[in-house]
Chains A and B, each alone.
Chain A
Amino acid sequence: MNMKNDYRSRNHPAWWAFLVHRLSGLALSIFLPFHLWALSQALQGEARLDGLLRWTEQPLVKFAEIMLVLLLAAHLTGGLRLLALEFLPWRDWQKSLLAWAAGAALAAGLAFALAL
Chain B
Amino acid sequence: MGAKSETWLWIAQRASAALLALCVLVHLLTIIYAVRHGLSGAAILERTRGNAAGLAFYSLYVLAIAVHAPIGLRTLCQEWLGWRNASLNWFMAAVAVALFAFGLRAAWAVFV
Which A residues lie at the B interface, using CB under 8 A? Answer: 22, 25-26, 28-29, 32-33, 35-37, 39-43, 46-50, 53, 69, 72-73, 75-76, 79-80, 82-83, 86-87, 108, 111-112, 115-116
Say whether B21 contacts A40, CB under 8 Å.
no
Contacting residues, chain B, for A111 (C-beta < 8 A): 32
* Contact in complex: A72, B72 (CB < 8 Å): no
8 pairs, CB–CB < 8 Å, chain A vs chain B: A29-B73, A36-B102, A37-B102, A46-B41, A46-B45, A50-B40, A112-B31, A112-B32
Main secondary structure of the interface of A (DSSP, over half): helix
| Contacts A46-B41, A46-B45 given; does A25 touch B36 at CB 8 Å | no
Query: For the complex, what is the distance from the CA of A65 to the CA of B33, rounded to whole Å?
Result: 15
A69–B28 contact, CB under 8 A? yes
Residues of A near B44 (CB, < 8 A) are 49
Nearest chain A residue, comparing its CB with the CB of B80: A22
Which residues in B have their C-beta under 8 angstroms from that of A53? Answer: 39-41
B69 near A29: Cβ-Cβ < 8 Å: yes
Q: How far is the CA of A8 from the CA of B108 in the complex (A)?
A: 49
Q: Which of A22, A28, A43 contacts B76 (CB 8 A)?
A: A22
A69: chain B residues at CB < 8 Å are 28, 31
Give a binary string over B99-112; 1 marks a CB under 8 Å from any A CB, 0 the rest: 10011011111100
Instruction: Given A29-B69, A53-B40, verify A83-B109 contact (CB < 8 Å).
Output: no
- A29: chain B residues at CB < 8 Å are 69, 72-73
> Please, how many angstroms separate the alpha-carbon atoms of A16 and B102 in the complex?
33
Q: How far is the CA of A40 from the CA of B105 in the complex (A)?
A: 6
**Are B21 and A25 in contact, with the CB atoms below 8 A?**
no
A36 to B105, CA, bound (A): 8
